[in-house]
Amino acid sequence: MADTQTTDAGRNILFGLYDDEEKLLDAVKAANADHLDIDEVYTPFPVHGLDPLLGLEESRLHQAGFVFGTIGCLFGFGFMTWVFTRDWPIIFGGKPYWSVPAFIPITFELTVLFASVGMVLVFYTICGLAPWAETRRLHDRITDDKFCIAFDATDLDNGAVDKLRDYFSKTGAESVHNKMVAA
């Protein structure tokens, strides 16, 4: 549901705004009970308890972090090893060429650097966030104090839309809006 990309010309989004996260959580529960297919939920801050209701799986960003961190670790240690044992061995202070303890600080820093940079890049990429990104922005108050439940009403008949409007008023939505958005 979250990031499905369709290539249609536009989508008709029907959304309701709530003024409190607890009303939002109750509304999502009601939608689940009524088998309504929520397209997306937008909130001004992370609302805890929302993910399981929406059936969102836990993020796997940490796996990306682990992979990038491993690459950074191996790269750092491997590069220093290559430089000091193969490419240009130099004796510093009578220590062995391959002086492992001295490599640890840089190996650690590169592990953290690769993991962080890689994970942040993955985050922006999978969320589709960039300075030029054209994301779906339904209402200006969603980043302020309104909690939004959105339905895709493009292919719904009047009866189904009325059912959704009914659902919004029943669950205490403050206002209900319609907006055409790019697919």
164 binds another protein (CB under 8 A): no
Taking the C-alpha atoms of residue 82 and residue 126, their distance in angstroms, rounded to an integer, is 35
Shortest gap between Cβ of 11 and another protein (angstroms)? 14
152 binds another protein (CB under 8 A): no
38 closest CA partner among 21, 20, 50: 50
Count other Cβ atoms within 10 Å, centred on residue 43: 16
**Quick check: 132 and 7 in contact, CB under 8 A?**
no
Taking the C-alpha atoms of residue 163 and residue 177, their distance in angstroms, rounded to an integer, is 14
175 binds another protein (CB under 8 A): no
> Which residues, other chains included, contact 69 with Cβ-Cβ below 8 Å and sequence gap of 6+?
111, 112, 114, 115, 118
| Residue in 80, 153, 164, 173 binding another protein, rule: CB under 8 A | 80
**Quick check: 21 and 46 in contact, CB under 8 A?**
no
| Residue in 6, 70, 85, 143 binding another protein, rule: CB under 8 A | 143
Nearer to another protein, 129 or 180 (CB): 129
103 binds another protein (CB under 8 A): yes
110 binds another protein (CB under 8 A): yes
Shortest gap between Cβ of 92 and another protein (angstroms)? 5
100 binds another protein (CB under 8 A): no
How many angstroms separate the first and last alpha carbons of the chain? 13
Residue numbers of the site for another protein (CB under 8 A)? 2-3, 21, 40-47, 50-51, 54, 56, 58-59, 61-62, 65, 69, 79-80, 83-84, 87-88, 90, 92-93, 95, 99, 102-103, 105-106, 108-110, 112-113, 115-117, 119-120, 123-124, 126-138, 140-145
